[in-house]
């Protein structure tokens, strides 16, 4: 399969419109074997995917380590690699709190957006990934630290971009208010918007996407299944990493019934929803197995009748 590419803003690299989101490789919710990680990456590569997104937080370093091993057999100049800064992994001073990542290295993710921390985080990610450079670096989840990242983290990354150390600077969050401020005040190349422009939850994302189009900032969508609910609302009732409310669950199940009446699955529609927006450069989809990856690629390729989208708009 040959997957279309789009550029991340006016400076960033071209990325395949389908990327592999690698949070599951950090044992998100459930453990994943090294063999499954390798076969998932292989399936993505065979399907034409050349864009991979990870972060130190995912599995407290485990995702980056596993992704680096899985990509080692592929030419580094043939894929785009994104990771994130803002959480340093350090030895805990006391027992670490339970997380959504299972059986991971006993390292504590520490918020730190200082210049020294940004430089250290990139070096540590390169070591875990066993690569010489990152293409895209996002500031990760600075919800409570907007002024800090504007004054220190972003200037550090922009200097690295200007020096050619990285190709694109972005920010990854699961809310739009902070991202809108950053788009207005920072010379960004791209955003990673998680879970706020999905078939189920898109009200806040629509306005941000339009702003990014006007400023020629690339948008990558993550969390397109809203952490599982949209993959199969009958079996996976997780919405934004917690149990879905009855109202959200009912809405998802109604959408699933509408999709089924048009001969498609809700997961199928969830994948294509973001790709329909002209302001979206790529969507990164998490997968744990070769079969899941192949399913995601087929969802992206198969045609959905326009009648479904018309019915969905009427229902909304």
List residues with catalytic annotation. Answer: 58
d(CA 230, CA 166): 34
Radius of gyration over alpha carbons of the chain, in Å?
A: 19
CA 118 to chain centre: 20
């Amino acid at each position: 399969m040959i997957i279309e590419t789009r550029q991340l803003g006016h400076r960033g690299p071209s990325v395949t419109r389908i990327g592999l989101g690698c949070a599951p490789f950090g044992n998100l919710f459930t453990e994943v074997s090294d063999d499954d990680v390798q076969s998932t990456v292989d399936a993505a590569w065979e399907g034409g995917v050349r864009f991979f997104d990870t972060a130190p937080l995912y599995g407290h370093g485990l995702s980056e380590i596993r992704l680096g091993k899985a990509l080692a057999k592929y030419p580094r100049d043939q894929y785009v690699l994104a990771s994130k800064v803002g959480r340093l992994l350090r030895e805990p001073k006391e027992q670490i709190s339970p997380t959504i990542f299972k059986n991971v290295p006993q390292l504590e993710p520490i918020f730190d957006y200082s210049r020294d921390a940004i430089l250290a985080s990139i070096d540590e990610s390169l070591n875990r990934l066993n690569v010489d450079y990152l293409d895209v670096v996002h500031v990760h989840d600075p919800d409570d630290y907007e002024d800090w990242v504007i004054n220190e983290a972003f200037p550090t990354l922009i200097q690295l971009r200007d020096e050619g150390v990285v190709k694109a600077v972005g920010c990854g969050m699961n809310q739009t208010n902070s991202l809108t401020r950053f788009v207005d005040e920072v010379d960004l190349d791209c955003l990673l918007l998680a879970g706020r422009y999905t078939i189920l939850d898109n009200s806040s994302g629509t306005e941000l996407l339009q702003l990014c189009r006007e400023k020629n900032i690339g948008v990558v969508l993550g969390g397109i299944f809203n952490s599982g609910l949209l993959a199969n609302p009958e079996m996976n009732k997780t919405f934004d990493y917690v149990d879905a409310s009855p109202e959200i669950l009912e809405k998802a199940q109604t959408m699933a019934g509408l999709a089924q009446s048009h001969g498609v699955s809700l997961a199928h529609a969830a994948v294509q929803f973001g790709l329909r927006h002209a302001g979206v450069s790529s969507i990164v989809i998490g997968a744990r197995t070769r079969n899941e990856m192949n399913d995601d690629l087929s969802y992206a390729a198969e045609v959905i009748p326009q009648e479904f989208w018309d019915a969905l708009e009427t229902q909304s």
